[in-house]
Chains A and B, each alone.
Chain A
Amino acid sequence: MIQLILKRVALGVLTLLLVSALIFAGTQLLPGDVASAILGQNATPQSLAALRQDLGLDLPAWQRYLGWLHGFVTGDLGMSLANRQPVADLLWPRFGNTMALAAYAAIVSVPIAVLLGLAAAVRRGGVFDRGINIVALAFVSLPEYFLGLLLILFLSVQFNLLPSLADTYAGMSFPDWLRATTLPALTLVLVTVAQMMRMTRTAVLSVMDQAYVETAFLKGLRTKRVVLRHALPNAAAPIVNVVAFNIAYLITGVVLVEAIFNYNGLGRFMVDAVAKRDLPLVQAAAMVFGAAYVILNSIADIAAIALNPRLRHPR
């Protein structure tokens, strides 16, 4: 088992390298280069050449890639083109905000979704199962901004329960922070619970269909015991994957939600940077999002290996 986990970690590191190369290649699609983008109309051949040398643009692409990668690993993310500030100072606080919001949503949605999915799978074909499936299908189809706007309309405009803008600042007290971020978190919860519940139900059903579960039922065991003691241990690994898939989704779904509620997170930050065509910011934000995604998926796979009874007790 240890060997399998080490293999998975190595694969994760390799994936991160490939992802960084792809993101770097993507940012090189621009016709012309950063130097002419900065100088714009005022460019003279001399100033262009000077700036290119200054930024290291006269080096071949692979050398610039290695330089960028080295900077990234050592914490130097470069300078923003728009305001000449270090990217790292701008990026990490916002990344913290985004992770806090995603964590808030995940803590609420994961238990609810897994319980609902289990309940629906156990009562397959029943009124509860069919009802909750229709509701989930509707929620999966609704875009984040539709739900977000409805929540603002009802909870903040009509009943004035929660603020419509997720204004947060450093040194905010925890209750204040919760109050400010509940609407965006709730939007994320509604979208992910539906998705996660459907996938959990499918994962549990595929275990419930196996012969050994039927045997347990035929032995006369109670439903509760069959589900919790016989089916669940084997469904745990697929459920962990479902949860990881949705937490990974949260990390990007948060981009839209941050725009709706004007939340000061990495998603909104990256969108603004794309609009301003601020290359170092976009590159760094994309790499952070990509890394978070790859790391989460690796953790999920490792957890699934650790949860697999056949791997945990090798013969």
Chain B
Amino acid sequence: MTSKLKAIPVSAWLGLTIVTLNLLVFLLGPMLAPYGMNEIVGAPFDPPSSQFWFGLDQNGRDMFSRLLAGAQMSIGVSLAASLISFSIGIPLGFVAALFGGWVDTVLSRIVDTVMCIPVLISALVVLQALGSSVPVLIFTIALLDSTRVFRLARVVAQGISVLEYAETARLRGESMGWLITREILPNALPPLIAEFGMRFCFTFLFVAGLSFLGLGIQPPFADWGGMVKDNQQAILYGLYAPLFPAAAIALLTIGVNLVVDWLLNAAGTTQGADR
């Protein structure tokens, strides 16, 4: 076990540390925050001090407390969207691969068409029709993102289903459920876990981006993308206020990417994370 731990490169350790810290903030954030997320504690844009580590925002609220509290929305929404997208994409992908025929054709054509439109544009169309709320955000992003998961799950399952042990199980007369849960899923896990990291990065940046555009998570909830937008003007006066939430977004993305890179290298592929 220790030799295995030593084999983990420094970059992966760095990534794992960043991800763990962010998860802790996600789980405990509001409890750790010294002030309330909508509590006005001073004048707008007061610079960082020993009392307010990251200074105050455009309404005189403590930036540090809002960052801690905002993790709940920023990370929570994207985590929920990624989980839902995987629970849609993986079963459909496996079913398409194992059944083949018209099931595969229909599902693949639908996915291909959805993927022809840039994700941001599709999301904007849906948000125009339904308005922006947390459930709409989560389900829109999950559905759009599940097309990518579907494609990967389908390819991976196709690769596994022709291998000897899957063939043997089929000849033994095992049911489709057994094939999927006992033969395909365990062997498809490594690439799917790496993909989960990538998809999470994508949805996280996507939610933050929508909030930055004012179309994502709405006040009174704090979230990192919205904080960048609200404090954006301060940069023109040489103040760092919007850089703190932007850096928090960047840091988590880099952390997840470092872990994903390590997982992919361990799996022997050279593909990097894509947007």
Q: Which of B118, B121, B214, B236 has the most CB of A within 10 A?
A: B121
A164 at the interface (CB under 8 A from B): yes
B125 at the interface (CB under 8 A from A): yes
- Give the docked Cα–Cα distance between A190 and B93 (Å): 35
Q: Which residue of A18, A282, A293 is within 8 Å of B113 (Cβ)?
A: A18
A-B contact pairs, 18 of them (CB 8 A): A26-B122, A28-B129, A141-B250, A141-B253, A143-B209, A143-B212, A143-B253, A145-B232, A152-B235, A157-B238, A195-B275, A252-B121, A271-B215, A274-B127, A274-B128, A282-B125, A286-B121, A297-B116
Q: Mark A20-40, 1 if CB is under 8 A from B, else 0.
A: 001100111110000000000
Instruction: Say which one of B51-59, B181-189, B240-248 lies at the interface with A.
Output: B240-248
Inter-chain contact B118/A293, CB cutoff 8 Å: yes
Inter-chain contact B271/A152, CB cutoff 8 Å: no
Q: Which residue of A lies closest to B255 (CB)?
A: A141
Q: 12 other contacts beyond A18-B116, A143-B212, A153-B243, with CB at 8 A cut-off?
A: A18-B113, A29-B129, A30-B130, A137-B261, A137-B272, A142-B250, A145-B242, A152-B235, A153-B238, A157-B238, A255-B213, A293-B121
Inter-chain contact A149/B114, CB cutoff 8 Å: no
Inter-chain contact B246/A143, CB cutoff 8 Å: yes
Using a CB–CB cutoff of 8 Å, the interface residues on chain B facing chain A are: 11, 113-114, 116-122, 124-131, 201, 205, 208-209, 212-215, 228, 232, 235-238, 240, 242-243, 246-247, 249-250, 253-254, 257-258, 261, 270-275
Q: How close is B154's CB to chain A, nearest CB, in angstroms?
A: 20
Q: Which of B113, B118, B238 has the most CB of A within 10 A?
A: B118
Q: Which residue of B113, B120, B246 is within 8 Å of A149 (Cβ)?
A: B246
Q: How close is A189's CB to chain B, nearest CB, in angstroms?
A: 16
Q: Given A137-B261, A202-B270, is A277 in contact with B128 using a C-beta cutoff of 8 Å?
A: yes
Contacting B at CB under 8 A, from A278-298, are 278-279, 282-283, 286, 289-290, 293-294, 297
Inter-chain contact B129/A27, CB cutoff 8 Å: yes
A102 at the interface (CB under 8 A from B): no
Q: Which of B205, B258, B272 has the most CB of A within 10 A?
A: B272
- Give the docked Cα–Cα distance between A18 and B119 (Å): 16
Is chain A's interface secondary structure helix, strand, loop, or mixed overall? helix
Inter-chain contact B232/A15, CB cutoff 8 Å: no
Inter-chain contact B242/A293, CB cutoff 8 Å: no
A260 at the interface (CB under 8 A from B): yes
- Give the docked Cα–Cα distance between A199 and B271 (Å): 8
Q: How close is B246's CB to chain A, nearest CB, in angstroms?
A: 4
Inter-chain contact B249/A146, CB cutoff 8 Å: yes
Q: Given A146-B247, A289-B121, A290-B118, is A271 in contact with B213 using a C-beta cutoff of 8 Å?
A: yes
Q: Which residue of B116, B124, B246, B254 is within 8 Å of A294 (Cβ)?
A: B116
Q: Which residues in B have their C-beta under 8 angstroms from that of A195?
A: 274-275
Q: Which residues in B have their C-beta under 8 angstroms from that of A23?
A: 117, 125
Q: How close is A153's CB to chain B, nearest CB, in angstroms?
A: 6
A113 at the interface (CB under 8 A from B): no
A92 at the interface (CB under 8 A from B): no
Q: Given A146-B243, A259-B213, is A26 in contact with B116 using a C-beta cutoff of 8 Å?
A: no
Q: Given A149-B235, A158-B238, A289-B118, is A202 in contact with B271 using a C-beta cutoff of 8 Å?
A: yes
Q: Which residues in B have their C-beta under 8 angstroms from that of A297?
A: 116
A244 at the interface (CB under 8 A from B): no
Q: Which of B129, B201, B208, B243 has the most CB of A within 10 A?
A: B129
Give me the 10 closest cross-chain CB pairs, A-B, nearest first.
Answer: A146-B246, A29-B129, A26-B125, A141-B253, A141-B254, A252-B118, A30-B129, A282-B128, A274-B128, A18-B113
- Give the docked Cα–Cα distance between A205 and B272 (Å): 14
Q: How close is A62's CB to chain B, nearest CB, in angstroms?
A: 17
Q: Given A202-B271, A275-B215, is A19 in contact with B113 using a C-beta cutoff of 8 Å?
A: yes
Q: Which residues in B have their C-beta under 8 angstroms from that of A137?
A: 254, 257-258, 261, 272
- Give the docked Cα–Cα distance between A198 and B274 (Å): 10
Q: Which residue of B lies closest to A249 (CB)?
A: B275
- Give the docked Cα–Cα distance between A273 and B125 (Å): 10
- Give the docked Cα–Cα distance between A266 and B7 (Å): 49
- Give the docked Cα–Cα distance between A231 and B249 (Å): 39
